[in-house]
Amino acid sequence: MKTLIIMTILVVSAFAQRNPQIRTCNITGGNFSVLNIQVDKVGHCNYGDASVDTISLMDKVYENKESMAVKQFLDGVTDCRGIIITGFNNVETALICYYNDKSSIRLSTLNAGNNSPANKNLVEALNSQI
């Protein structure tokens, strides 16, 4: 039984290292999760209660490209200028601001603003260069 548990952990770890969304999230100090939204699933990187979708995170830290979610957040916009949808998994349910370019950010993250202490780690991650 111990061997099975160890093998499972190794397989999951190996997958995480090959998945660029998970790896980028981990490198920037976040925790990866998947949220079910309407008819899709989206990876989100969580920094405490703050979160943004992992594709937006990767675009920003690797190519300095800003998705609509990241641009709105970093520009200090605190109201959702996309659509508000519910994201969920077996651990949590959260309101998400979802934009036309398929980027998303947790609504409470956006509402709190980029100067909020709760969003400090997300701001640092988005401003990092990998």
Q: Give the distance, in angstroms, between the CA of residue 47 and the centroid of all CA atoms in the same chain.
A: 8
CA distance 27 to 71: 21
Q: What is the pLDDT of residues 15-67, one digit of tens each?
A: 446 899 999 999 999 999 999 998 899 999 999 999 999 999 999 999 999 99
CB of 26 closer than 8 Å to CB of 18: no
Domain map (residue ranges) of the chain: 2-126
CB of 35 closer than 8 Å to CB of 94: yes
Q: What is the pLDDT of residues 80-107, one digit of tens each?
A: 999 999 999 999 999 999 999 999 999 9
What would the mean pLDDT of 116-124 be, rounded to a whole number? 98
Predicted TM-score of the model (pTM): 0.85
